[in-house]
Amino acid sequence: MKCCAVSAFSPADKHTSAVYYQSTTTGALRRARLFQQSMRTIDFDYHLPEELIADRPLPERSASRMLVVHRDSGLIEHRHFSDILEYVRPGDHFVLNNTKVVPARYFSNDGSIELVRAGLAQELVWKCMVRPGKKMKIGRTVQVGDATGTVESIDEEGYRYIRWDKFVDPEVYGRLALPHYMNRESEPADKERYQTVYAEHEGAIAAPTAGLHFTPEILAQVPHSFVTLHVGVGTFRPVKAENIEDHHMHSESFTMPEATAKAIEEAQRVIAVGTTSVRVMETLATRHGRPLPACNGDTDIFIYPGYEYKVTGGLLTNFHLPQSTLIMLVCAFAGKELIMEAYRQAVEQRYRFFSYGDCMLIL
């Protein structure tokens, strides 16, 4: 049994509203019970009108709306990202991902082959997603500029390993690999806006989108430090398994700097900016316990309901694709029932979804 009730708020504050979402169980107990209730991929589905998918950024980064979810009380508030400082309390520390998006999408000279570089196996050997794959069997070649690439092998997930006879300049031939749901080619404005203001270390194919809302001015007002996780194409791969435990998670490389590891241990509450920051911290806590070590590594951690968070005390994140590993991670943090209600309200209130969309702060 559940109910919703509107709470009191100041009519003078047009940016603020609040709704309590209540159920017969609350907080940690509700989240723990979820592990036993539902582990099917379809249970993480929701209806999203196509017109709510944001295909372009707002003129101002911090103008995004922000849905605030309070895990223990069930309070859901409708605010703006520019209000985030109101939720920062003494002892909080924000952990952000400072990866930098690189041009990873290429087309053959004749336009018939699309390549998305997922990584480098060697200096001149690319690991690629290829469309159409049937044209690129082992031994087939592709021309990009004056370089010739030859398919050397194909792995079990369908990635092609292509060896080039010379360097292919990404600044000349590469484009940003915008998510497929934007349904458009990258534009000059994307070079700046599909990048956080603190992006530093090149290597990501997709942006850590929760950080796109920060301006230098807002960032300067919150205690913060950085990890680096290079977001790969696997972040967009759908969960095809009927039961989520059967899904094979993609791997991504990360760095935990010593200063960040120290700041995390000294913080009273760690607020992760984006699911990628969560993956770094929770991977290290799962493998090594506390305190977190400073190190480089790879992670294929798959966080879904039933997982007990070890570091993350708050999460700023965008709205994620239905049935995706990312919405499962968020449901593990706040409880599936509460998060799906938050998504329902976001759709009802016509929030903007996905990479260039609005955000959610979970505390």
- Per-residue pLDDT band for 261 (boundaries 50, 70, 90) equals very high
Mean pLDDT score of the chain: 90
Return d(Cα 155, Cα 162) in angstroms, integer: 12
| Whole-number pLDDT of residue 47 | 97
Q: How far apart are CA 175 and CA 180, in angstroms?
A: 14
Closest CA to 104 of 213, 166, 181, 186: 186
Determine the average pLDDT of the residues in 94-121: 95
Strands (E) across 280-340 are located at 295-299, 312-318
**pLDDT above 60 for 60:** yes
The pTM score is 0.88
Supply the CATH classification number for the domain 2-101+184-362.
3.40.1780.10
Half-sphere exposure of 230 (CA within 13 A, CB side): 20
Question: Are domains 2-101+184-362 and 105-173 of this chain identical in fold?
Answer: no
Who wins on pLDDT, 346 or 18? 346
Question: Based on C-alpha coordinates, what's the Rg of the chain?
Answer: 21
Which of 9-18, 79-88, 269-278 is predicted with the least confidence, judged by mean pLDDT? 9-18
Q: What is the Cα–Cα distance from 213 to 64, expressed in whole angstroms?
A: 7
Amino acid 186: pLDDT: 94
The per-residue pLDDT for 7 is 30
Give the model's pLDDT for residue 250: 84
What are the residues facing 2 on neighbouring strands?
Answer: 23
- For residue 293, give both structure tokens: 């070590």
Q: What is the pLDDT of residues 202-251, one digit of tens each?
A: 999 999 999 999 999 999 999 999 999 999 877 667 788 999 999 989 88
Tens of pLDDT, residue by residue over 84-99, are: 999 999 999 999 999 9
Which pLDDT score, from 0 to 100, does residue 102 have?
A: 95
Domain ranges of the chain: 2-101+184-362, 105-173
Q: In the prediction, which pLDDT does 236 show?
A: 67
Q: What does the alpha-carbon distance between residue 273 and residue 88 come to, in Å, rounded to a whole number? A: 13
Q: Specify the CATH superfamily of domain 105-173.
A: QueA-like (2.40.10.240)
pLDDT per residue over 296-353, tens digit each? Answer: 999 999 999 999 999 999 999 999 999 999 999 999 999 999 999 999 999 999 999 9
Q: How confident is the model at residue 119 (pLDDT cuts 50, 70, 90)?
A: confident
